[in-house]
Amino acid sequence: MEITSKMVKELREITGAGVMDCKSALVESKGDMEKAKELLRKKGIDIARKKSSREAKDGCIFSYVHFNGKVGVLLELNCETDFVARTDTFKTLGKEITLQIAAMAPEYVSIEDVPPERIEKEKEIYREQMEKEGKPPEIVDKIVEGKLKKFYEEACLLEQKYIKDDSKRIKELINEAIAKVGENIVVGRFTRYELSKR
């Protein structure tokens, strides 16, 4: 199948990937747009993996206050250079992540940030629930692991499903940006404020 410039342009608009990357993904997928998107996504993850060991010391502080003035977010998003910190890709990513934090109220950046005592407490609660429901002991551990995974998906920002596209997680959104800018990008920290209902 002939790969036209129109197809390359369309894929580029959807993914934001480079022209040559889009063309080679379309050639490899024999013109199948969905497969080409998947190939680019995998490539982005590979690039992100290679960049992840590089130190991200630059970046920006992003802020968001909800229109009703009752929820606010401060986010530190890091990259390797000031040049990347000024790109539209980086700025857009920062805005998207602040919206995510405002909407989904994560407690931690990543699974590694969850204190061990919190994990144990969660496991204890799940085990008690299973015992009350009379689940057989041999399947309790499997259920507890499943519930813990769900807990991570709600409590950890990087594990959360992206509010604008639930086919990807926030870590994948960041990986896509890393593939575009060619630098490591890391969520440093964040704070979410919500007006207390006292």
Domain count for the chain: 3
Q: Are residues 127 and 187 in the same domain?
A: no
Mean pLDDT by 10 residues, the chain (198 residues): 83 71 84 83 62 75 94 95 93 97 97 94 89 82 90 96 94 91 92 85
Q: Which of 96, 115, 68 is nearest to 160 (CA)?
A: 96
Residues 65, 87 within the same domain? yes
**Residue 140 confidence (pLDDT):** 83
Task: Give the per-residue pLDDT at 135.
Answer: 81
Full domain range(s) for residue 129: 115-154
Q: Residue 134: is it exposed, middle or buried by C-beta count within 10 angstroms (0-12/13-18/19+)?
A: exposed
Residue 50: its pLDDT value, please?
Answer: 59
Do 140 and 160 belong together in one domain? no
Question: Residue 22: which CATH number?
Answer: 1.10.8.10
What is the model's pLDDT at position 132?
Answer: 83
What is the chain's alpha carbon radius of gyration, rounded to the nearest angstrom?
A: 20
Nearest residue to 155 (alpha-carbon basis) of 110, 194, 120, 195: 110
Give the pLDDT confidence score for residue 11 in this predicted structure.
77
Task: Judge if 124 and 147 occupy the same domain.
Answer: yes
- Give pLDDT, residue 49: 61
The pLDDT of residue 13 is 73
Pair (39, 132) in one structural domain: no
Determine the pLDDT at residue 35: 86
Residues 60/47, Cβ–Cβ less than 8 Å: no
